[in-house]
Amino acid sequence: MRSWLWVLAGGGLAWAGDPAAAQVRAPYALLDEQPQNVYLPQETPTLEQLTNQGGVHFSLNTTYLSNYMFRGIDQSTPPKRNEKALQFDGRLDFDLGKLPHPFIGVFANVFNNDPVSRFEVVRPYFGVDWTIRPVTVGAGFNGYIFPNREGKDTQEIWASIRIDDSRFFLTERPLLSPYVYAAYDYEKYDGFYIESGIRHDFVIGDSGVILTAVGDFAYVAHDQYFRPSGPLGKSTGFQHYDVGMEATYDLQKLIGVPRRYGTWELKGYLFYTGSVDKQISADNRIWGGVGINFRY
């Protein structure tokens, strides 16, 4: 006699070898082959994903420098030299996706022993940055307010272009990041200041330290601010150059504050500024200092 076996399938009974039994068992066999966890494995977030991903960003840079050098000229109030400048630069950026990103900010240079005013200059500014990779173009306004110093206030408009050359060199980070910046003083000096430069980052392993080599040079055109007194003074020509190094340390490694509350960096600066044309105002200085940058 032929033997038969009973199997349990689908909550009922079926004969072994019956095609219907195979059809009933098939869904259960497929379930057995599915992974135990129905959720996708979580990916480790990047440093960028751990920071503020909203549409508004705030930054505050505080620096303490041996000299306040601005566009190649030492801004120390005569007869003082090396006045140990304390500077604050606060800025709001608005991220509008693919549209140009507007920003607004204010810079201030403070020196407690200044004989005229503790706030030597206050510089409100605003503008837009628009990134169309690999190019970022910008334009904006700078105001210069010199408290209690009549006749020095002025205003200018500016434009800039920066290039992310990592696209050309197929590197993870930019190699030289060349830029050109041009400003036109339309109120007091009626002239142009043009600056071009490069910078390169050296990442020191996993230490959180980045060393940045910086170099730039400047040209002025019909800008009376850069014309020294005397019959031989000029207001057009190559004016100054800067070479130096910046050191950046990621303080998150030291203080342990989560990046969702903002990022903190310790900065170090060492520069040499040199005059190009003796008939155009510029100073020869070795200067530097330290700073703390906060971004959220």
Of the candidates 287, 270, 264, the residue with the CA atom closest to the CA atom of residue 60: 264
Which tokens hold the place of 239?
A: 């004016």
Residue ranges of the domains in the chain? 1-35, 56-295
Q: Report the C-alpha gap between 200 and 215 in whole angstroms.
A: 9
Helices (H), the chain: 19-33, 166-169, 252-255
Class of domain 56-295: mainly beta
CA 224/CA 172 separation, integer angstroms: 43
Q: In the 8-state DSSP scheme, what is residue 277?
A: -
CA 10, 14, 20, 22 dihedral sign is positive
pLDDT in tens, the chain (296 residues): 444 333 333 444 343 444 444 444 444 444 445 455 544 455 555 555 556 677 899 999 999 999 999 999 998 877 666 678 899 999 999 999 889 999 999 999 998 777 788 899 999 999 999 999 899 999 999 999 999 888 899 999 999 999 999 988 888 889 999 999 999 999 999 999 999 999 999 999 888 899 999 999 999 999 999 999 888 899 999 999 999 999 999 998 788 778 788 899 999 999 999 999 999 999 999 999 999 999 99
* pTM confidence score: 0.79
